[in-house]
Every structure is written in structure tokens, then in C-alpha cells.
Amino acid sequence: MKASGNKLPINLNDLLRQRTVEGERIEYKTGWNPDAIIRTLCAFANDFENLGGGYVVIGQDCDANGQPVFPPVGLPDYQLDKIQRELLAHCQLIQPPYFPVLSIEVVDGRNLIVLQAPGGQTRPYKAPEAVTASKKTWRYYIRRYSSTVEAKGDTEQELLSLAAKVPFDDRFNQFARVDDLSKPLMQGFLEEVGSALAADAPGLSVEALARQMNVAGGPSESPWPKNVGLLFFNETPERFFPGVQIDVVWFPKARAATVSTRRSSRGRWRG
């Protein structure tokens, strides 16, 4: 799990108000509830629908319709270290171990812990029904709309069939190098979406910035860009993806058009 000093690669206010991320990919938790949170992290890691994982926001309450309530209830300062320690221990119970990116944010003077949970590289994942129980039972979990549910029957079999099938976006591209990612394009994106990371970007290397944005990964001695990084932050993505295309989908009642340059590993284009 990455250090809490990291900044989110998207605008926090837009995330909380579901302007840039669909509600089904965000889970709000008023307080630290390890059993439910670990199950949800497991579900995001499995990324059954290849949506790109999701986010868990701890310290943010919501109304009966699942919409965030402001100001958030927040987390007291004395709880922050305790939650991080327990989260690290509980994430090790996920099989195989899975660690989200953790960021501590302040909204309206209240502390929030935001967990960015991308699709995992080694799915399927299973987690204990209750990490706090002395006798643990592991289950597979997925997201169904805005809920975390246990994968059963045919759904479980389909999930198991995805073993070693990392979503297309999250796959490392071994025909490219991290330096193939364009730092100006990454910085421009961060500035456009209003990310707090934009202020730090000029002082970071391409690799460090790409890792913060989750568009590169791998061991420090052999980092690789991810497909999503090359699609968005390379001037000539067709070098790596022959026949690449951009699908534009207009939703008249939505706030803006959705532009897609992504293809899921299950062969469906997503807007």
C-alpha cells in the first residue's frame, strides 16, 4: 500500500460529487468498518465488469440515495495512523494480497481516507467474510451496480475463468518503455481535471509521475507503462496499438460528452 502522502490523479471534489467517476465505482463509508471495506476492495480488485476498479472514501457519509452528504463527517486525527496500520494488516488477508493506493485528504476541514483500488494484476481475489473473526471464511466478491456481493454459481465460475486475465487497460506493455509516456500530456491532463498532483508534477520524473497516476508499474529496476497510459499519454499510440480508434458517445441529459479511448480485455468498448 502506497504512502499516505500521495495525491490523487483526479480532482477530489469531482470524485466525491461523481462528476468524473460513476457512482457504482465509489463506495462511501462513514467510518472505519474493516469487514465491509476489505470485501469492497476485493470486489474492485476483481473488476468483474472491467470498469477500472473503484474508490473507497472513508469518513464520507451519504444519503438514502447513495449521494454524498456535505460537509463530510470526517475522521479524527488520532484515528488516521490506526486505520492505516489495520488496513495494511487486513489487505494481507486478501488472497492473493492486494493493496490499494491510499491518500489522506481534507475536505471542509474534515479528514478523509481515499483508497484508489484499480483492477488487480493477479485476479481472481477472495477475502474473508469478516477480517475481525477468529475463524475466517474466504469468499469471492464482485461489484453489482453500486453494491458489493458474493460471487456465486455461474458468476463465480466466470470470475474464476478470468484468472491471469488482467483488464486490457491495466496490462503492462512490454513493447514500450516508461519514457514512451509523455510528461507534458500527463501534466496537461492533471491541470485540466484540477488534480492536486499537478503542482508536484514538474518536479517528478516521468516514472514517478506515471506511478502516482497508476499508468505505470512493475519493479523499480524494470518499470513498464500500462496500456491505458500509452493510449492517453503518447503522441502516436498507433505505434503500439494498430487500428486504435476513439469512440465518442453523446448523452443529451449528461453534463458533458464522454470520450473513450479504452478497450476492455473482454473485447467491449466502453464510453
CATH code of residue 144: 3.30.950
Same domain, 61 and 114: yes
Q: Is residue 161 assigned to a domain?
A: yes
13: enclosing H helix or E strand: helix 12-16
pLDDT at 219: 67
Q: How many domains does the chain have?
A: 2
Residue 124 shares a structural domain with residue 205 = no
Residues 251 and 198 placed together within one structural domain of the fold = yes
Contact 35, 129 (CB under 8 A): yes
71, 98, 117, 223 from 207: Cα distances, Å: 36, 22, 20, 8
Q: Where are the alpha helices (DSSP H) in 64-182?
A: 77-91, 153-161
Report pLDDT digits (tens) over 60-72: 999 988 889 999 9
Exposed/middle/buried for residue 248 (C-beta within 10 Å: 0-12, 13-18, 19+)? exposed
Same domain, 112 and 21: yes
Judged on CB neighbours under 10 Å (0-12, 13-18, 19+), 78 is exposed
105 phi and psi angles, rounded to 5 deg: -120, 160
Residue-range definition of the domain harbouring residue 249: 171-270
Higher pLDDT, 208 or 22: 208
The answer on 184 and 159 residing in a single domain is no
Condensed to tens digits (0 to 9), the pLDDT of residues 16-35 reads 988 878 788 999 999 999 99
Q: Looking at the predicted structure, is the pLDDT value of residue 271 above 50? A: no
Q: What cell was used for 99?
A: 493493496
Tell me: do 125 and 183 sit in the same domain.
no
Residue with cell 500500462: 226
Q: Which DSSP symbol is given to 39?
A: H
The model carries a pTM of 0.73
Domain boundary among 119, 135, 165: 165
